[in-house]
Amino acid sequence: GAGVSQSPSNKVTEKGKDVELRCDPISGHTALYWYRQSLGQGLEFLIYFQGNSAPDKSGLPSDRFSAERTGGSVSTLTIQRTQQEDSAVYLCASSRGILQETQYFGPGTRLLVL
């Protein structure tokens, strides 16, 4: 079906506010990843979901960041009390699951914290 979709495409917020970013993975993909891409930098792993297993949260930079995945499909990344250093492009990717290595990326959400 369609590719990975993310919303919103752009988000401007004030320092200290909470934001929610949404990811719709490719239908049937059981694995979902969140990455962060800061200006001029590579992509930094944040969190991984695989089926009903406990997520790998090892990449989350602070406890202000959290993510959930409801019904094994849509995922929401929440950043509480945003800081200016959180400004980045947040990318979501999905793959078919275990042993299916290829990750398909969405277009990203560009977050700007003023």
Partner 1 sequence: QQQVKQSPQSLIVQKGGIPIINCAYENTAFDYFPWYQQFPGKGPALLIAIRPDVSEKKEGRFTISFNKSAKQFSLHIMDSQPGDSATYFCAASKTSGTYKYIFGTGTRLKVLA
Interface residue list for partner 1 (CB under 8 A): 4, 31, 33, 35, 41-45, 48, 50, 56, 58-59, 91, 93, 95, 99, 101-108
Helices (H) and strands (E) counted in the chain, each on its own, are 0, 10
Nearer to partner 1, 50 or 80 (CB): 50
Q: Which residues contact 39 (CB under 8 A, 6 or more apart)?
A: 87, 88
- Report angle CA 72, 8, 33 to the nearest 5 degrees: 35
> Measured from the CB of residue 9, what is the shortest distance to partner 1 in angstroms?
9
> Measured from the CB of residue 81, what is the shortest distance to partner 1 in angstroms?
26
Nearer to partner 1, 2 or 14 (CB): 2
> Measured from the CB of residue 101, what is the shortest distance to partner 1 in angstroms?
5
